[in-house]
């Protein structure tokens, strides 16, 4: 009993808004992490949560051959930045910073292009912008950087974005390689072609060619279905651009509104005919690898209190971000390490995550990570992934955030938590946890959930000895509470004849088909 009481005190102290009563507790908040999945961290007052109010992307198009082959990076970025402002009616002068993930272009050039794109989109000169490069996670890193800055109080509104034109900027090493490299094996492995690292993963962990080809087929099938049913329409911003005839030089105005790399007819038999690209007897082919693509994405974040004040709908809540290091020779395993770390940091368990967007850099690493973490295939990349949609390096993170949050919104309260993750060249992994905007109720609204629970199916399993300082623990026998309340709520209510006007603090967690209700009088 004492253990339960102590844990409840930790939860109450850990989750209470800043205006709540002051509970004395000498225990670490980390004590919450080993318990119910609902004990995910709320380390700031409810109104200080960082929320996402809009997330958009361009279509993802095939490099050198697709709809954006003649579109400059700044012309890819500008439409999604502009969409954030126009669709939310936000005054662009209120944006504290814009952070853009990008990988291949020279740093100073891309920084200038991003600044130019902001001007195209209608931002005033007073709004700053910068770039960030953490390889394939750059777009997600941009979102995380903005979230961290908002939490730190640097500003209240920011944009995390990503852009890449793999048509104009190819993967290449500029200049000589430091001869010192020869003395450090791990440093040497940083220069391994990504396809070789894919082969290493397949060989070391026994991922078969059949498994890889099947994963690619599944990706194209799901992406084709999502496109046909219009599931991408809410996240894609059509781009007005041009396409140039390579023979005549004639320019033709076009509007690009769909991803152009998806192949609905892809089959295991067809992919089986492709030769390995990186190793003579290998298993990595052009068909079971991510597509080289052009595209951009952008995410608008702000303090919850600001979003509420402006009357903006909350698409999602930013919870945690984690970047980890792994062996560069098998860099593709990154998500298998980053995802558990990020989920644990959120106080959750893998089984609590309803949807995953895991970048499909290569089928080998995607299949390995899925199997290693024992994830339900029905929860992963439900609308396809990079093997079908494409992987414009710096933009992928922002694209995945947009795809994840719009799908979570579509599924409603049955989908509360989602994860975005990817492997990173030179041996890293990144992952972020998001909560559905519909799933994160204001703490005081929890009373409605609790009051809807039938008292006839709640049994008291612990008594209290003092009305002024007591803890009651209730065990819910059946799934009485609708929706998956994988969150602990802290509220102050009055229980009529029981405590008269003495306020009590109540915490509730719900996981699978059982839940626990705590009440502590104050």
Of 395, 403, 436, 445, which is closest to residue 420 (Cα–Cα)? 403
pLDDT of 502 reads 43
Confidence of residue 448 (pLDDT cuts 50, 70, 90): very low
Active site residues: 136, 391, 423
Of 91, 88, 86, 66, which is closest to residue 76 (Cα–Cα)? 66
d(CA 410, CA 206): 36
Say how many residues make up the chain.
522
Confidence of residue 135 (pLDDT cuts 50, 70, 90): very high
Confidence of residue 230 (pLDDT cuts 50, 70, 90): very high
Rg for the chain (alpha carbons), in Å? 25
pLDDT of 481 reads 38
d(CA 96, CA 338): 29
Convert the pLDDT of each residue in 237-256 to its tens digit: 999 999 999 999 999 999 99
Residues 415-444, mean pLDDT to the nearest whole number: 85
Q: Residue 507 above 50 pLDDT?
A: no
What is the reported pTM?
A: 0.79
> DSSP class of residue 134?
B
Kindly write down the DSSP assignment for every residue of 204-227, as one continuous string: HHT--HHHHHHHHHHHHHHHHHHH
Convert the pLDDT of each residue in 362-414 to its tens digit: 999 999 999 999 999 999 999 999 999 999 999 999 999 999 999 999 999 88
Confidence of residue 304 (pLDDT cuts 50, 70, 90): very high
pLDDT of 2 reads 61
Q: Residue 514 above 50 pLDDT?
A: no
Task: Give the CA distances from residue 314 to residues 51, 302, 329, 409, 434, in Å, rounded to whole numbers and listed in that order.
Answer: 7, 10, 40, 10, 12
d(CA 379, CA 369): 13
The two tokens of residue 232 are 């991408």
The two tokens of residue 98 are 């814009």
d(CA 300, CA 307): 11
d(CA 277, CA 218): 21
Question: What percent of the chain has pLDDT above 70?
Answer: 75
Q: Residue 298 above 50 pLDDT?
A: yes
Q: Residue 491 above 90 pLDDT?
A: no
pLDDT of 107 reads 86
pLDDT of 45 reads 54
Q: Residue 276 above 80 pLDDT?
A: yes
The two tokens of residue 75 are 């012309």
Residue 429 contacts residue 420 (beta carbons within 8 Å): no
273 CB-near residues (< 8 Å, 6+ apart): none
Beta strands in 198-309 (DSSP E): 239-244, 251-256, 293-303
CB atoms within 10 A of CB 454: 10
Looking at per-residue confidence, does 449 or 310 come out higher? 310
């Amino acid at each position: 009993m004492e253990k339960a009481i102590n844990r409840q005190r930790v939860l109450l102290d850990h989750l209470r808004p800043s205006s709540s009563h002051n509970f004395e507790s000498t225990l670490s908040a980390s004590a919450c992490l080993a318990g119910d999945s609902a004990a995910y961290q709320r380390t700031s007052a409810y109104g200080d949560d960082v929320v996402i109010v809009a997330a958009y992307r361009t279509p993802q198009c095939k490099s050198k051959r697709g709809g954006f082959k003649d579109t400059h990076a700044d012309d890819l970025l500008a439409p999604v930045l502009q969409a954030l402002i126009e669709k939310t009616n936000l005054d662009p002068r209120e944006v504290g910073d814009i952070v853009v993930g990008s990988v291949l272009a020279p740093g100073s050039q891309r920084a200038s292009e991003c600044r130019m794109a902001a001007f195209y989109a209608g931002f005033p000169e007073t709004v700053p912008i910068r770039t960030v490069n953490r390889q394939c996670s750059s777009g997600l890193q941009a979102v995380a950087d903005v979230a961290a800055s908002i939490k730190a109080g640097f500003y209240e509104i920011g944009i995390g974005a990503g852009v890449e034109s793999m048509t104009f900027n190819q993967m290449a090493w500029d200049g000589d390689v430091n001869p010192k490299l020869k003395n450090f094996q791990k440093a040497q492995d940083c220069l391994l072609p990504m396809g070789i690292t894919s082969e290493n993963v397949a060989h070391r962990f026994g991922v078969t060619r059949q498994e890889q080809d099947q994963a690619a087929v599944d990706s194209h099938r799901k992406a084709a279905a999502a496109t046909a049913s219009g599931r991408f329409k809410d996240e894609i911003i059509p781009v007005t651009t041009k396409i140039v005839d390579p023979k005549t030089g004639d320019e033709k105005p076009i509007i690009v509104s769909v991803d152009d790399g998806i192949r609905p007819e892809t089959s295991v038999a067809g992919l089986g005919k492709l030769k390995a690209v990186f190793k003579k007897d290998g298993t990595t082919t052009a068909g079971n690898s991510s597509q080289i693509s052009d595209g951009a994405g952008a995410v608008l974040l702000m303090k919850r209190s600001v979003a509420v004040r402006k009357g903006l709908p909350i698409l999602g809540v930013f919870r945690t971000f984690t970047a980890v290091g792994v062996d560069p020779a098998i860099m593709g395993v990154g998500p298998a390490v980053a995802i558990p770390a990020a989920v644990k940091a959120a106080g959750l368990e893998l089984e609590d995550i309803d949807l995953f967007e895991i970048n499909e850099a290569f089928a080998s690493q995607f299949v390995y990570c899925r199997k290693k973490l024992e994830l339900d295939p029905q929860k992963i990349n439900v609308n396809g992934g990079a093997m079908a949609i494409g992987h414009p390096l710096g933009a992928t993170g922002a694209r995945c955030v947009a795809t994840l949050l719009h799908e979570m919104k579509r599924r409603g309260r049955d989908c509360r938590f989602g994860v975005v993750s990817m492997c990173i060249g030179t041996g890293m992994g990144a992952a972020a946890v998001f909560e559905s905007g519909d799933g994160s109720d204001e703490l005081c609204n929890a009373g409605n959930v609790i009051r809807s629970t039938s008292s006839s199916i709640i049994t008291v399993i612990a008594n209290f000895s003092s009305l002024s300082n007591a803890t009651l623990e209730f065990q819910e026998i059946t799934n009485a509470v609708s929706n998956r309340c994988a969150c602990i709520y802290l509220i102050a209510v009055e229980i009529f004849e029981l405590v008269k006007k003495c306020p009590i603090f109540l915490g509730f967690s719900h996981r699978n088909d059982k839940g626990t209700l705590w009440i502590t009088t104050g």
